Amino acid sequence: MAHSIAVVYLHLVFSTKDRQPLIVSTWQNDLYSYLGGILKHLHSQPIIINGTMDHIHILCTLPREIDIASFLRNLKASSSKWVHQYHNPHFAWQEGYGAFSVGLSNLEQVKGYIRNQEKHHDKQGFMEEFSSLLRAFGLVPYGETH
């Protein structure tokens, strides 16, 4: 085969530092657009980006030329720099992130989940949500034991 092909879908989740409500509605959509631009620059295909005042969900493809840690580092650093420059000089993302694989048969379900973040968070906080994601992938949430 002359060319290498990789199609890996990721559901990315990361929050603001200390889960502070720093993502303000007046520039939230601009942030999502900027994140989409960064993803494209990194050779990723953004599918949907949404979140709340304290965290982001992204469904996108993983570029085949970069590892997940470098990909997320670039995405978070570039977007943080943009927020500093145009909206909030004290803005920061948390150090960690969640990166979950998504199968082709689950893309629509994950898109719907991300699309409905505000409604979803009327019932559940970020840590409960993240713990649910960890359990769905067979991982033990922070502070829990089997």
Task: Kindly report the CATH number assigned to the domain that includes residue 123.
Answer: 3.30.70.1290
120 within some domain: yes
In a domain, 70, yes or no: yes
In a domain, 144, yes or no: no
Amino acid making up residue 58: I
Core vs surface per residue 21-31: b (16+ CB within 10 A) or e: ebbeeeebeeb
Total domains in the chain come to 1
Tens digit of pLDDT for each residue in 42-83? 999 999 999 999 999 999 999 999 999 999 999 999 999 999
141 part of a folded domain:
no
Predicted local distance difference test score (pLDDT) of residue 140: 58
Amino acid at 105: S
Contact 112, 27 (CB under 8 A): no
Which range marks the domain in which residue 22 is found? 9-136
In which element (H, E) is residue 57 found?
A: strand 55-61
Residues in the chain: 146
Give the mean model confidence (pLDDT) for residues 73-98: 96
**pTM listed for this prediction:** 0.84
Question: Of the candidates 29, 28, 64, which has an alpha carbon nearest to the alpha carbon of residue 44?
Answer: 64
